[in-house]
Amino acid sequence: MIMEIAKNLQPADVTIVLCGQAGQGIQTVETLLSNTFKLAGCSVFSTKEYMSRVRGGMNSTFVRVSDKPVSAFIDRIDILACLDAGAADHLRSRIGPQTVVIGDKGTFGQAAETAKNRFDIPFNTIAEQAGGKIYSNTVAAGAIIGLLGMDMEPVREVLRNIFAGKDEIIQTNIAALEKGYEAVRAVCRGIDFKLKGAAQQAASDHILVRGAQAVGLGAIGGGCNFISSYPMSPSTGVLVFLAQNAADFGIVAEQAEDEIAAVNMAIGAWYAGARAIAATSGGGFALMCEGISLAGMLETPVVINLAQRPGPATGLPTRTEQGDLELALYAGHGEFPRILLAPGTLEEGFLLTAKAFNLADKFQVPVIILTDQYYMDSYYDSPAFDVDELKPQKHIIETAADYRRYELTEDGISPRGVPGFGKGMVCVDSDEHDQTGHITEDLDLRVEMVDKRLQKLDMMRECAVQPTLYGSENYRNLVICWGSTVNIVREAVELTKSQDTAVLHFTQIFPLHSDAAMLICEAETSIVVEGNATGQFAKLLLLETGIQVDHNVLKYDGISFAADTLADQLLSIIGRRNHNEE
């Protein structure tokens, strides 16, 4: 069925994969091509899969270019550029008859024999003629542009921008680029990917950002002025982005000695009146659990970006998974409220991260933003983010002399003061405490304080983000997803051509919006798609709504879902239901 699904893809929709060893400049080609396609007016999506090593191994970058908006990964490969002998074998399962394979013929091996079109383009030899073997990746980029039949000027302009002020390097790269272009045009005849002149300036006014940048921009939009993190793939991009822009936005960026220090610094920053974020991944978040519990007891806001990757332990540190939902939901000893958000689109990453700071400030709770490697490392052209409604909402009061940090209130939210702003003492303690913040072992007061903290859940549910329904409101089948899978799931459903199937996407995982149960109950068949082995979100839906979904589609091999192969899986479920009805 995969070939039938492939026919539904637009003719001017081309997928390109570059594969080679770490250190061969594959990411440079990704940047070069993506910006070239964007400049040429095409829509572009890019993501990568890479091994956890500085050099060696097999890494690949996926670039999809189209004359219509594209924002999802698919399994099909139209052009494969092999930069190493193991490239074709690494991608064996994704090479089909339609794949055009280019590179030194010695890199093809048996794995490439499935492809009908294989062209010997000796990247290294051509690069040495241009100026050195180091330029082989630029030769590959030129060959790909040649295969697509695109004009060379946009890619030359991108090269000039990348190496601005380095004229000799620019000229050598352009020479390598042109030699790759000429080499492929000389041998690849009769191949037309229909991109020449196909672009309709679909992305000319769009921005091109990664998921990590969207989260970083959202933090700035939310008034973030402090980040404390220990570098850990795939979360490091947020720390790097905010550190790079720290001077322009008044941000203190602290690379902590470990994740324990990072979360405690963030908590301390909020206590002092700052708006802080800590970015980490699974193993680092595990170390933060005691700090999260501390924030729960102190009723201090804190924002944490948990960029998921496969565990347990170090697991697959550079791959993707949605396996930490339950970790985030139950992190920290004791019982206290928290909010879990999970953006799927770049715009959601921006808006939800900004919103996270306001929610943390308002409810005085930890807010955890769940992303993953696929989301953080993917980018595509997107309309410019709407910043008009971004207003950091601060809930700090000027304290009076009789100020009580944990005053019992009707809604459970005590007025929050910060040291030095007003006449009151802002006393907080990790032990159970009275209304002034001093330690207590009054057991009746203990019950009041626990109830006070948990009472905030009622208000948090009332302002929860509503899940988004895509497709017909008169659906019989409902495909449910959360976080980063939304664009993949939406395209997969489109590929099925099923008119009575809709997608329900959750960007707030906890507490759930009250409409969730009603929307799921409307479906005759419910399917949850998520990137883990145990159906963690399906279990949460059962816990929160009492609804047992009909089917789980799970993936946990470290690679994201692909829209075309997921469409096959969904069709098998929908088709089985239709067959049973007949």
Residues 221-254: pLDDT tens digits?
999 999 999 999 999 999 999 999 999 999 999 9
CATH code, 268:
3.40.50.970
CATH number for the domain harbouring residue 171: 3.40.920.10
pLDDT of residue 68: 86
- Choose one of 331, 348, 382: the last residue of a domain: 382
pLDDT at 266 over 60: yes
Contacts for 540-543: CB closer than 8 Å, 24+ residues apart: 540/325, 540/326, 540/329, 540/509, 540/510, 540/512, 541/480, 541/512, 541/516
CB 46 within 8 A of CB 61: yes
Closest listed residue to residue 464, CA positions, set 558, 363, 377? 363
* Largest Cα–Cα separation, the chain: 85
DSSP secondary structure, 477-514, as one string = EEEEEEGGGHHHHHHHHHHHT-TTEEEEEESEEESPPT
Q: Where is average pLDDT lowest: 194-203, 248-257, 359-368, 481-490?
A: 194-203
Asked which of 55-64, 209-218, 248-257, 264-273 is least confident by mean pLDDT, the reply is 55-64
Instruction: Let me know whether 75 and 215 are in one domain.
Output: no
- Kindly state the average pLDDT of the residues 139-161: 91
User: According to the model, what pLDDT value does residue 422 have?
Assistant: 97
Are 145 and 175 found together in one domain? yes
At 500-558, the pLDDT tens digits run 999 999 999 999 999 999 999 999 999 999 999 999 999 999 999 999 999 999 999 99
Last residue within a domain, chosen from 342, 360, 382: 382
421 assigned to some structural domain: no
266 and 182: one domain? no
Asked if residue 406 is part of any domain, the answer here is no
Question: Which CATH number goes with the domain that contains 518?
Answer: 3.40.50.920
Separation CA 490–CA 479 (nearest Å): 9
- Same-domain check for residues 285 and 171: no
Position 126 in a domain: yes
User: Same domain, yes or no, for 215 and 124?
Assistant: no
DSSP-derived secondary structure letter, 419: T
| Pair 301, 266: CB distance under 8 Å | no
Q: Is residue 454 part of a domain?
A: no
Q: What is the pLDDT of residue 150?
A: 86
Give 346's pLDDT tier (boundaries 50, 70, 90): very high
To which residue do tokens 């879990």 refer?
Answer: 340
Task: Answer for the pair 215, 353: CB distance below 8 angstroms, yes or no.
Answer: yes
Interval 70-96 mean pLDDT: 93
Handedness of CA 486, 494, 75, 79 (dihedral sign): negative
**What total of structural domains would you count in the chain?**
3
Cβ atoms of residues 270 and 300 within 8 Å = yes
Pick from 23, 57, 9, 16: nearest CA to 37: 16
Same domain, 152 and 217: no
Q: Which domain holds residue 246?
A: 208-382
- Region 563-581 average pLDDT: 82
- Domain co-membership, 175 together with 233: no
Assess whether pLDDT exceeds 70 at residue 93.
yes
Secondary structure (H, E, C), 38-97: HHCCCEEEEEEECCCCCCEEEEEEEEEEECCCCCCCCCCCCEEEECCCCHHHHCHHHCCC
The C-alpha torsion from 516 through 518 and 524 to 526, rounded to 10°, is 10
Per the rule left: phi > 0, alpha: psi between -120 and 50, beta: everything else, 57 is left
Predicted confidence at residue 579, as pLDDT, reads 44
Name beta bridge partners: 82.
Answer: 19, 103
**Same domain, yes or no: 47 and 156:** yes
Q: Per-residue pLDDT tens for 395-441? A: 999 999 999 999 999 999 999 999 999 999 999 999 999 999 999 99
The answer as to whether 520 is a domain residue is: yes
> Tell me, what's the pLDDT at 2?
32
* Cα 180 to Cα 145: distance, rounded to the nearest angstrom: 9
Q: Is residue 303 part of a domain?
A: yes
Cα distance between residue 516 and residue 331, in whole Å:
24
Average of per-residue pLDDT across 265-286: 98
- Among the candidates 328, 352, 382, a domain finishes at 382
What is the mean pLDDT of the segment spanning 133-138? 91
pTM of the model: 0.94
* pLDDT at 109 (0 to 100): 82
Q: Are residues 178 and 217 in the same domain?
A: no
pLDDT at 193: 72
446: in domain: no
Quote the pLDDT of residue 199.
45
Considering the chain, what is the average pLDDT of its residues?
92
Same domain, 344 and 259: yes
- Rounded mean pLDDT, 186-196: 70
96 and 44 in one domain? yes
Same domain, 146 and 11: yes
pLDDT number for residue 313: 96
349-393 per-position pLDDT tens digit: 999 999 999 999 999 999 999 999 999 999 999 999 988 878 899
The answer to whether residue 456 is domain-embedded is no
Q: For position 577, what pLDDT does the model report?
A: 56
C-alpha pair distances (Å), 332 with each of 79, 289, 327, 439, 560:
47, 5, 9, 20, 29
Mean pLDDT of 252-272: 98
